[in-house]
Amino acid sequence: MNKYKTVVCVSLFVVVLDQITKVLIRSSFALHESVSVLPFLAITHLRNRGAAFGIMNDLPETIRMPLFVLILVVAFIAILTFVKKAEPRDRILITSLSLILGGAIGNSIDRFRLGYVTDFIDFHWFGDPKYHWPPFNVADAAITIGVILILLQALFLKKVSYTATKAQRHKEGR
């Protein structure tokens, strides 16, 4: 598949899944309503006016929203630049960037339309509030998975790829 088709398909999948889950949460749960799913997982309807982990939550709206616009534009340009430079065979990188782009778009839709992002995936250590991970959503998960895949590729897979490429060039006499 063409790398640009991959970006569109993966990003669109993330955005659609993210928006569907958020609409379901907002329509089915009152704000702060929580339902335990597993001993360490609850579905809890929350609003996050800030960025990841509530960063920038206390900034005035007049500063926070322009900052989010700037971050989105820079991220969009950076991701598309990396995709353009990526080799078509570098599917892990292209998929990772697509996940990040889809997550950024999904959260931006909420942020610009509603003034906040809907979070609902609520992990905790068997009900103990001292050991609680900040709630997140599908877009956040996609961004996190994309970043982790890029890091894993940079740390482990690129070395294998570089060694294989070097061996291939040596074999071809280049």
Chain segment 135-151, per-residue pLDDT in tens? 999 999 999 999 999 99
Can you give the pLDDT at residue 57?
73
Can you give the pLDDT at residue 165?
58
Read off the pTM: 0.85
**In angstroms, what CA-CA distances link 44 with 28, 39, 79, 117?**
11, 14, 31, 13
Indicate which residue of 18, 90, 110, 119 is catalytic.
119
**In angstroms, what CA-CA distances link 46 with 22, 49, 60, 89, 137?**
10, 10, 20, 40, 10
Say how far apart CA 171 and CA 164 lie, in whole Å: 10
Apex CA 91: angle with CA 111 and CA 164, to 5°?
140
List residues bridging with 158 in a β-sheet: none
Indicate which residue of 90, 110, 122, 140 is catalytic.
140
Cβ atoms of 45 and 139 closer than 8 Å: no
pLDDT at 71 over 70: yes
Task: Mark whether 128 is an active-site residue.
Answer: no
Task: Mark whether 90 is an active-site residue.
Answer: no
User: Any idea where the domains of the chain sit in the sequence?
Assistant: 3-167
Say how far apart CA 66 and CA 91 lie, in whole Å: 33
Return the higher-pLDDT residue of 15 and 127: 15
Say how far apart CA 80 and CA 105 lie, in whole Å: 13
pLDDT tens-place string over residues 88-128 = 999 999 999 999 999 999 999 999 999 899 999 998 887 67
Say how far apart CA 159 and CA 82 lie, in whole Å: 19
Reference 146, options 49, 75, 87; nearest CA is 75
